[in-house]
Amino acid sequence: MSSSLVSQTAQGAVLSIIANVLAQVIASYKYNVPFTLDFGPIAKFVTFSIISNPPNIIWQRFLEDSFPTTVREAPPKSSTVDGKPPPESQYKTRTSGRNILIKFLLDQTFGAIVLNNLLFLVFMGYVNAPVGGKQNPWDIIARDVQEKLWPITLDGYKLWPAFSLISFLWIPVEKRVVAGCLVGVGWSIYLSLVAGA
């Protein structure tokens, strides 16, 4: 595992702790009960962050490698000397709207639904299933996915498409997941409240 992957995963885990603590404070206020820090949900969210951040980091690298935001344009043929390609300095770059659109569509479909929302519901359904209960944990997961996947996805579309476009245009690939975690503190608070529901 690369040091960048470890560093980004650790930063995401810290942000998930902050988000879950804030969610607990909000829930305490909302339900008018005294605040007591519950370490169980924090541990679950940190574990989820540690599990889900590496695939997201790899996903962002794959998107950027496959569909780079900045592409190199070939210099005019007249710049070729003796059949040799021109030096690197003669190549110009441009922003590829086509690649940004492809990344955006892939990220908002497969990335959002499978790598994030579905993985979240499966993980939380499994870790929140009653131990030794009469109901199979996979039945609970199937119910949660059926009831919560589309509402979470639709709510996510109020935030993540804008961030996705901004990140593809201006945030370096090695900082995208951490930037997403930072923006996602509010989103994580929402997920914490959903998971506790």
At 42, the amino acid letter reads I
Whether the predicted pLDDT of 197 surpasses 60: no
pLDDT tens readout for residues 143-183: 999 999 999 999 899 889 999 999 999 999 888 888 888 88
Contact 48, 124 (CB under 8 A): yes
CA distance 87 to 33: 68
Reduced to 3 states (helix: H, G, I; strand: E, B; else coil), residue 159 is coil
Q: Which two tokens stand for residue 67?
A: 């569909």
The pLDDT of 1-13, averaged and rounded, is 87
pLDDT tens readout for residues 60-88: 999 999 999 999 887 666 656 666 766 76
Most confident of 20-34, 69-83, 109-123: 109-123
Residue of 2, 183, 164, 197 lying closest to 69 (CA atoms): 164
Full-model pTM: 0.83
CA distance 103 to 91: 24
At 32, the amino acid letter reads N
Q: Where are the domains of the chain?
A: 3-196
